[in-house]
Amino acid sequence: QVQLVESGGGLVQAGGSLRLSCAASGRYAMGWFRQAPGKEREFVAAISQGGSSTAYADSVKGRFTISRLIGKTTVYLQMNSLEPEDTAVYYCAATLSTFATRQQYEYNFWGRGTQVTVSS
């Protein structure tokens, strides 16, 4: 069973930064998703198993960066220029595919989530 543990969430003012981490029990293509109160869970960013390919939602492009160190199993989400609209529970997920996929149904394993709150 793949285990995913997110960390790094918290409260930050608008314009600030946070870095989320997701420690995985193996090396997989990974994604970050988020769910705001009253909304459906949505794609944020993804990275391929090898780390050479990434994908981003339009709403975070240019502000968020997903990364992983070569050969390591932890994936990071650097979030800059945060906005109140970024407030959500952030989930990391792992897929048995090797590609950076945006589709939730392609992800086989999910973390429990970490809260990110951006105050105005």
For residues 32-42, average pLDDT: 97
Say what the pLDDT of residue 1 is.
Answer: 83
Q: How confident is the model at residue 102 (pLDDT cuts 50, 70, 90)?
A: very high
* Rounded Cα distance, 51 and 85, in Å: 28
Say what the pLDDT of residue 24 is.
Answer: 93
Say what the pLDDT of residue 11 is.
Answer: 98
DSSP 98: S
Mean pLDDT of the chain: 96
Q: Residues 61-93: pLDDT tens digits?
A: 999 999 998 888 999 999 999 999 999 999 999
